[in-house]
Amino acid sequence: MDTRRLSVPATDDGVRIVLDAVAALMATHGLSKAVTWPVEVSLDEVLANVVHHGLEGRGAESAVEVELGLDPAAEPPLCEVVVVDDGPEFDPLSALAPDTSLGVEDRPIGGLGIALVRKLMDEVEYERRDGRNRLRLARRLVPMEA
């Protein structure tokens, strides 16, 4: 397992650092976007949630800890991501799934992120531990079609 640990500010810059890091980790092991994009999209959704909602207004003073784990030798390769923040208790998995049957006019903007994460990842687990939110995501890196 190739593991990278990052601690980044809860800002857009922090999100960018993590997305760059996961892209670099995947590229190091020769994994193509065709199999890595679901993890990258999910990580963006989770971090955007933390930065824009959970830690809103606290930005640069608050850190988000991210652990990126990749087992490139597994068949298929396995990726596991843990995101920890010290914002107020919030279980993103408790949010209601959006109604994806509505037309353009009625479709609310937003609310889709976590629903996407649930569909893109094999495993999503939330835990409140030591006063912090801890979200663990895992996916086997195989191509995905809806």
Partner 1 sequence: MQIDEEQAGAALVIAPAGRLDSVSSSELEKLVVSRIEGGERRLVIDLAGVEYISSAGLRVLLLAAKRLKEPPSALVLCGMGPGVRTVLELAGFLPLFAVEPGREQAIARLGGAALA
Chain residues binding partner 1 by CB under 8 A are 12, 15-16, 19, 33-34, 37-38, 40-41, 44-45, 47-48, 51-52, 100-101, 103-105, 107, 109-110, 112-113, 115-116, 119-120, 143-146
Could you tell me the smallest distance in angstroms from the CB atom of residue 55 to partner 1? 14
Could you tell me the smallest distance in angstroms from the CB atom of residue 11 to partner 1? 10
CB of 20 or CB of 125, closer to partner 1 = 20
CB of 51 or CB of 70, closer to partner 1 = 51
Could you tell me the smallest distance in angstroms from the CB atom of residue 112 to partner 1? 4
CB of 16 or CB of 132, closer to partner 1 = 16
CA angle centred on 19, ends 146 and 109, rounded to 5°: 55
Could you tell me the smallest distance in angstroms from the CB atom of residue 104 to partner 1? 5
Could you tell me the smallest distance in angstroms from the CB atom of residue 79 to partner 1? 14
CB of 103 or CB of 131, closer to partner 1 = 103
CB of 34 or CB of 74, closer to partner 1 = 34
φ and ψ at residue 25, rounded to 5 degrees = -60, -45
Contact 114, 83 (CB under 8 A): no
